[in-house]
Amino acid sequence: MTETLLFGVLGGMGPLATLDLLQKMIEAMPAKRDQEHLPVVTWNVPQIPDRQKALAGKGESPLPQLLHAVQQLNRLNVSHIAIPCNTAHHWYPQLAAASRAPILHLVDIAAAQIAHLHPRPQRVGIIATEATLQAGWYQQRLAALGIDVILPTEQELRTLFVPGCYAVKRGENTLGGQLLQELATALINRGAEKLVLACTEIPLAFNAVASPLRAASVDPAYALAQHCVALWQCFMREAHH
């Protein structure tokens, strides 16, 4: 058993989404004092090239910077690495192969949470970047659970998702919330019983407009935070036996 757990967060994609994960780690931990919270180190370096543009063939690959971040976190002897960015998981195989510490897979963790919902939804809407949707990670995992998916149209991605996502990256969270809530409402109207907020900017946008659709949503970043807390609690139980 390792001497202790130390979680590494490979962030910066974007900076607010990274802070959001850290906040959720604190909220998810039922700590009564400082010393009971998760030990975390964070690589919050936003100069990593744009993931969406890279996968659209319009920008440089973020892989070298991501590999550098993984290397730096491993030098700190982290026990696990969490990446609060769905689209960055396009490079998950290369990052996992280069890392001594296991890298937690955001999509697997979110799908596991959906599998344990009672009642399990029959139709789920996915809000994500075009690259994440084209990769099919969520669709494949939900199909394996017998769940139908409802996806944004190309026009909705172009006119609602992309401007909504980049509004949050500019700090215009209210505008982002208005656009992304409109997209979410369209998916609900097409029959989605639950929404997967498969881009880490979306919860920030929803919070800015106090969206009532938060209650009908699965937030992969919060699922990731809860998973880290569960690992820490399990480690602490074993350490005290």
Secondary structure of the chain as H, E, C letters: CCCCCCEEEECCCCHHHHHHHHHHHHHHCCCCCHHHCCCEEEECCCCCCCHHHHHCCCCCCCHHHHHHHHHHHHHCCCCEEECCCCHHHHHHHHHHHHCCCCECCHHHHHHHHHHCCCCCCCEEEEECCHHHHHHCHHHHHHHHCCCEEECCCHHHHHHHHHHHHHHHHCCCHHHHHHHHHHHHHHHHHCCCCEEEECCCCHHHHHHHCCCHHHHHEECHHHHHHHHHHHHHHHHHHHHCC
Q: Rounded mean pLDDT of 213-228?
A: 96
**Greater model confidence, 191 or 240:** 191
Judge whether residue 241 has pLDDT over 90.
no
Q: Rounded mean pLDDT of 109-123?
A: 96
Q: Which residues contact 112 (CB under 8 A, 6 or more apart)?
A: 223
pTM comes to: 0.95
Q: Is 199 a catalytic residue?
A: yes
Q: Is 85 a catalytic residue?
A: yes
Q: Which of 165, 199, 228, 234 is catalytic?
A: 199
Residue 121: what pLDDT? 97
Q: Give residue limits of the domains in the chain.
A: 7-105+222-239, 107-219
Question: CA-to-CA distance for 216 and 32, rounded, in angstroms?
Answer: 30
Residue 197: what pLDDT? 98
Residue 11: what pLDDT? 98
Residue 1: what pLDDT? 38
Sorting pLDDT into bands at 50, 70 and 90, what band is 240? confident
Q: Which of 85, 165, 228, 234 is catalytic?
A: 85
Identify which of 183, 11, 182 has the alpha carbon closest to the alpha carbon of residue 81.
11
Average pLDDT, the chain: 96
Q: Which residues contact 214 (CB under 8 A, 6 or more apart)?
A: 203, 206, 207
Q: Rounded mean pLDDT of 186-193?
A: 98
Q: In this structure, are residues 166 and 188 in contact, taking their beta carbons and an 8 Å threshold?
A: no
If you classify domain 107-219 with CATH, what class do you get?
A: alpha beta
Tens digit of pLDDT for each residue in 59-98?
999 999 999 999 999 999 999 999 999 999 999 999 999 9
How large a percentage of the chain has pLDDT more than 90?
97
Judge whether residue 3 has pLDDT over 90.
no
Q: Are the folds of 7-105+222-239 and 107-219 the same? A: yes
Q: Rounded mean pLDDT of 204-210?
A: 97
Tens digit of pLDDT for each residue in 4-36?
899 999 999 999 999 999 999 999 999 999 999
How large a percentage of the chain has pLDDT more than 70?
99
- CATH architecture of the domain formed by 7-105+222-239: 3-Layer(aba) Sandwich (3.40)
Q: At residue 148, what are phi and psi to the nearest 5 degrees?
A: -80, 145
Q: In this structure, are residues 213 and 185 in contact, taking their beta carbons and an 8 Å threshold?
A: yes
